């Protein structure tokens, strides 16, 4: 089981990947992913014209990449 510090670290890694991929998002935009995902996906659509389904797939790829690097 992961402790709070590990969960926070995983989110920080993912947030960094999100910023690399979608650099026009602000830190506040990225923080939405950790609790207000619908708003986060709305920001991606506004900023990049990215449909929610496409964004979800790309986020899953980023999560997988972050997990692979951590392993």
Tens-place pLDDT, residues 11-67: 888 899 999 999 999 999 999 998 899 999 999 999 999 999 999 999 999 888 877
How confident is the model at residue 2, as a pLDDT? 58
**Residues 62 and 19: beta-carbon distance below 8 Å:** no
Residue position matching structure tokens 């998002």: 25
Picking from 2, 4, 3, 16, the residue whose alpha carbon sits closest to that of residue 69 is: 16
3 pLDDT band (50/70/90 cuts)? low
């Amino acid at each position: 089981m992961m402790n709070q510090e590990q969960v926070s670290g995983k989110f920080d890694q993912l947030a960094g990947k999100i910023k690399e991929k979608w650099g026009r998002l602000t830190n506040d935009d990225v923080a939405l992913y950790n609790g207000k995902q619908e708003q986060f996906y709305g920001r991606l659509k506004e900023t990049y014209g990215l449909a929610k389904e496409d964004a979800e797939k790309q986020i899953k790829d980023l999560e997988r990449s972050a997990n692979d690097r951590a392993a």
